[in-house]
Structure 1
Amino acid sequence: MTFWLGLTVISFFSEKGQLCHMCKFLFFLIIGFFFSCLAEAQQRTLTFLTFNIYHGENPYHAGESNLAEVAALIQKYQPDFVALQEVDSMTVRSASSQGGRKVDLAAELAELTGMHGYFAKAIDFSQGGYGEAILSKWPLEFSTISLPTPMGGEGRSMAFAKVEFSDGKEFIFAGTHLCHEFEANRNAQTEEIIRQLLRHELPVVIAGDFNFEPNERAYGILSKDFLDAALLLNASPAATYPAEAPTSRIDYFWISQDLRGTVISIEVLDVDFSDHRPILMKLKMD
């Protein structure tokens, strides 16, 4: 419609023999505006959330479930993708805060929020499993990647998903929870995460509880290949742990170098029904 309007204007003034050069300028201005709007429409604004949910229990009220609050938070902000840490599946432990019922927390939250859920088991635990989870507005191709523990201790994993849009564009979304005990484990796990993510040669968003602060070696290892998303907008990002009065920044969104310039906003949310605060991020992606 804009195109034919431009032609009509030019035809009219050409026939009159007046201001033809001005009409051509207006025509190309209109066409430029049209294609600019089209390009803007083709960009996607995606919302991401990461949250360590303390195995579905409120840490400040023992035996009390926090699933309803977690689900309400997700419904409030409507993220497209969610990375969850400290997720139980059918454990005796989580049953104590879920009315005596063994629950797959990822599946329960997926049902409560209308999203698709995936549980990435890191270890067998309490007659069930313990690990990470991803929630997505769309069904995705999910997988679980085990992470090394050279010093022993609790096993860790990375939940991994390949996201493909209808126009063929792809990116990787992953969530993880690194070792809280041994620095050598965190270093090895970080190196394995980098190896696994870079081999796909796709844009990457990875989120989670990394259990390291910016002055630690693992942070430096990861920052060689990925960008700390919060630092792109704020030179002094907010702490995330403990939730009641945060003093440590150990939860992050990291993005691949090719996503530099896509971060619209990133915010640590002020909630205290887990021992970590969640982080909400928005990206504009082609």
Structure 2
Amino acid sequence: MRIMTYNVHVWYDNDGQFKLQEMIDLIKLLKPDLLCLQEITKHGLTEFVKQTGFTKVFKYHSVAILTNIENVEELSPPSNTRNYYPRFATVKVPLGDGKEFFLTCVHLDYKVETNRMKEIKQIKKHLSCLNADAAQVWAGDFNALTLEDYSDVVLNEITSVRRKNNWEMPKNDVSTTMKADGFECSWALVDRPPPVSTCRFDTHIDYIYINQDFRKIFEVTKVEHHGSTASDHSPVIADFKLIQTDDTEEESGDQ
């Protein structure tokens, strides 16, 4: 199972060049089973889907989940309010033998951690309908740092750059909350292979988080922060292997 997240920056690269075709070619090469996109536009998505061949598209505002897996279902989308414009979508992915997991495509606020924490709270509230032992994946642009991803020297450099540009100082609240809720960064689980960065500011802000119940079903085998420069974000690709149980082994033997 290959899950991928990609902030496509409305199909433009960091230099303002339209890169839709390059992104399409990249997806055709990488062949994700489930693709989470952020910062999409309708006109680009239509051509993207046409050329990549995805048969199921679950779009909500500027985020989308694309797949060819049969019987994937969308959870009821979140509601807009005057002060809340949600940027997430969730689908249920059946695996057979009564197993399933839930994939949430996430795009959090880029400005301040307090806003991101409010959005995390809203997502959790929306997903409170799920069973306590539901296997979950949250993938997307979290716009949040994990401080342990960096050495003291690098973190000091990040802090200095942010101070000079009057940006928010490095925060760890989102990643701490995700961990407290039983989620782990899949990239960290495979010992953080380089490069660290997933965006033009040389920081890691795009994640594929998996919870403990998902890890009972799948083993993470590889995670890559891809080097493509078609967007101002790097694609994050995670490969997972279904854990064989006695039931699945017997089922495989019967086929």
TM-score (norm 2): 0.75
What displacement does 1:217 show?
0.8
What displacement does 1:248 show?
0.6
1:183 aligns with 2:183: no
SS of residue matched to 1:50 = strand
SS of residue matched to 2:208 = strand
- Which whole-Å deviations, capped at 9, do the CAs of 1:57-105 have from their partners, x for residues lacking one? 2331x3x43221111111111110000011122xxxxxxxxxxxxx1x3
Residue segments in structure 2 that go unaligned for 5+ positions in a row: 148-171, 244-255
Task: State how far apart, in whole Å, the 2-side matches of 1:217 and 1:141 are.
Answer: 31
**Which of 1 and 2 has greater Rg?**
1
Q: 1:147 to 1:270 in 2, by over 3 A?
A: farther
- Are 1:161 and 1:173, in contact at CA under 8 Å, matched by a contact in 2? yes
Aligned residues: 210
Moved more, 79-88 or 210-219: 210-219
Q: Corresponding residue for 1:249? A: 204
Task: State how far apart, in whole Å, the 1-side matches of 2:139 and 2:191 are.
Answer: 18
Identity %: 28
Task: State how far apart, in whole Å, the 2-side matches of 1:108 and 1:168 are.
Answer: 35
Task: State how far apart, in whole Å, the 1-side matches of 2:29 and 2:103 are.
Answer: 21
- Say which structure, 1 or 2, has more relative contact order (CA 8 Å, 6+ apart): 2
What displacement does 1:285 show?
2.5
Q: Corresponding residue for 2:64? A: 133
- What letter corresponds to residue 8 of structure 2 in structure 1? I
What displacement does 1:168 show?
3.1
Q: Corresponding residue for 1:223? A: 179
SS of residue matched to 2:87 = strand
Q: Corresponding residue for 1:72? A: 25
1:53 aligns with 2:11: no
What displacement does 1:198 show?
5.3
Instruction: Return the match for 2:89 from 147, 156, 159.
Output: 159
Q: 1:51 to 1:281 in 2, by over 3 A?
A: same
Task: State how far apart, in whole Å, the 2-side matches of 1:76 and 1:119 are.
Answer: 23
Task: State how far apart, in whole Å, the 1-side matches of 2:221 and 2:129 are.
Answer: 27
- Are 2:101 and 2:214, in contact at CA under 8 Å, matched by a contact in 1? no
Equivalence map 1:1-286=2 (5 Å) = 46-60=1-15, 62=16, 64-89=17-42, 103=43, 105-115=44-54, 116-121=56-61, 131-138=62-69, 140-143=72-75, 144-146=77-79, 155-197=85-127, 199-201=129-131, 202-215=134-147, 216-225=172-181, 226-235=183-192, 238-242=196-200, 247-260=202-215, 262-286=219-243
Task: State how far apart, in whole Å, the 1-side matches of 2:113 and 2:227 are.
Answer: 29
Q: 1:147 to 1:283 in 2, by over 3 A?
A: farther
- Which whole-Å deviations, capped at 9, do the CAs of 1:223-261 have from their partners, x for residues lacking one? 11211111111157621111xxx5211000000112336
SS of residue matched to 1:155 = coil
SS of residue matched to 1:164 = strand
SS of residue matched to 1:273 = coil
What displacement does 1:196 show?
3.4
- What letter corresponds to residue 137 of structure 1 in structure 2? N
> What is the Cα-based RMSD across aligned positions, in Å?
2.3
- Which whole-Å deviations, capped at 9, do the CAs of 1:161-196 have from their partners, x for residues lacking one? 111134332111110100112322101111222343
SS of residue matched to 2:26 = helix
Residue segments in structure 1 that go unaligned for 5+ positions in a row: 1-45, 90-102, 122-130
